[in-house]
Amino acid sequence: CDHATGKVADYIDEAYKCGFKMIGMSDHGPMKYAFLGLDEKEYGIYFKSHMDYNTFKNKYIKDIDKVIKKYKDQMDVLKSVEIEYISGHDDFYKMLLKDLDYLLLGQHFSYVNGEELNTYFNVKKH
């Protein structure tokens, strides 16, 4: 999702050097703007702060599979994505899980009464 530098292998190699026996790799997973009722023509298909589905299938998963092979007898590498939960799209999450070991909830926003609640800017302290 371009929030970090380096490649999947860089992170896994470093974890191995540090003595990890298991690690889960997680990047922002693909999420459609349409899930929020937003027009794909105006916004695009996938959130710009997340990877698109083609990158997920054709690069991200393949990159993790390469390091899984490399470390198969030395360290367990689990495949994951960080993703928001949006009610009504469970089939999409199940589809992602066909390629993953788990989903990591990263709820950056939600919708309350049709209005976006951004967890970085709109959450009130009590």
Query: Which pLDDT belongs to residue 90?
Result: 95
Query: Which pLDDT belongs to residue 1?
Result: 62
Q: 125 pLDDT exceeds 60?
A: no
Query: Which pLDDT belongs to residue 126?
Result: 42
- Summarize pLDDT for 15-71 with one digit per residue, the tens: 999 999 999 999 989 988 888 777 888 888 888 878 889 999 999 999 999 999 999
Phi, psi of 13 (to 5 degrees): -60, -45
Instruction: Note the pTM of the prediction, 2 decimals.
Output: 0.83
Residue with more model confidence, 82 or 3: 82
